Structure 1
């Protein structure tokens, strides 16, 4: 899609809120998208394409989110102005009538007064005092009407741009899957033995049991590593744009308390590795759906479950920011994106990513490693 057009709509969507977070997010997203486009055009290797496409998808996600926020604010503002204008309809009619009378009555007639010249002078003084106030009201009314018209035009023109943007991010996701499949430059610590993996899966009933047997799924010895992320402890970003729904140990809507975090995400959101890590496992497991298990350092595992698609191969050592999967769900229709009916209900983040952190095969509070104070 044309990046300039997207940037214009992103900024226009927040024009009335020039100093708020949505406007800044829109501007940042437009810049990210422009830079990602440049990187993609210059990408020669599969590795470069993966990085550029990852940046493109993240920019699209941030941009569409900012646009959605801005357009919802615009719709809310238009509804407020329309309600105010409707409530002031009587006053508006009176104001327009007075202004029309003043505008169409000949000056000599205006100076006539039943009480004679003195009454005419007094009336003139009163009119001179009232007229500025009438002008202020008239200007305010004209400004409100102009703002309503601008907001309506903005919402009408945004639909096409949103459609193009959704199509663009879907295309980028498809190309990302292809680029990851073509990538052959990643180092490997081990090669997975599919038979051993299948035996391990069939013989375990819990994540604990599976995690403790991970060393059994390789064809040979797993190369040792001295990788460490201790200096990042407590500051690691979440692997997906989302909001924290449940902390470790907090019961969910069904009353189930789990050892990890539950993050609310948008449909088809991209999940990336928050640090450099080895992929220890990826695929379906028990009742957890598709998951990825990453090992950023010996004895430490990050488990991300609830994915629809998973990327990479067990044994690969991946750099920070590498895509490891996509969340499930369907991209929303334009009407759902622009609708304000679900504001504040979390319906714009219908999918959930479960994050568990295990140290020496025991679960620990993920917030000792991850920074959760910033919503994505």
Structure 2
């Protein structure tokens, strides 16, 4: 940070997970702001991993129950944080954090209150009020498509700032070696690895399985890897793969920290999300390591994946179209790699963590100056 007075910032996250997209974005933002000289406090639900990682980064971490939107114990805790750390900016991630911060603001002034919007689910009347109230200074949308959705729901356009989610392009880069992961998976040199990162009901995991059942018949070397499943889903997804006749070419893993190496080991990364998405992190990260991508033509994905230029797009809930796109990558790896290289450049220009931190810092500074 240069020529700026250090800001005093509270990042409020009402969950305990550490490896989901939202948690990764919060973590990288907090680390980036801290590196630029700001005083950053992170409050999450109780989490040994958050406590450990923030301590390693010399960032204060406060555990709050945040068990529901009217959790007064947490409101009292937030008020205490505001006073002890003389917080100027509260950045809320998820709706529960917003409500708790608004309640805390009744007891202690919050100069700047910012909401993050990373999903495209429709706003109900209660949530809409949480975005339109004058006590909320600004809304950060992670894509232009989410901004359009908020405006359509009645949120003033001038209140919304688009700041794309970021990828650490120093950690995710074309030189990452995926050899160890391919060895771990027992892959042969000619095996073609299709990878999906993330397991949620609306991520289209079943659609990927259906697509791979088609691909496996046309391209026997094809293999499928699904990463990020909780224990129960590891079992259920394995059963679904066997039901489709692809159990022997499918691996399902839990949460991993070696995502750069997994993506570098892959021949293509797919995302078959069909609802609620903003901008899928695994596609950004995959392009950053120059692994080809296929995504659905939905919400913020086309802002990253330009069809035929930086990757391929398919309609949501269409396993046949997804299968054909995977086969296109298998049949023309040279073209696929060229799109991935173009994707890396697009990530560097628009979707890097460095750029996200800089834009967020500029927004904080501008809003605080306006409120002063």
Q: Where on the TM-score scale, by shorter chain, does this alignment land: which range?
A: under 0.3
Higher helix share: 1
TM (norm. structure 2) is 0.24
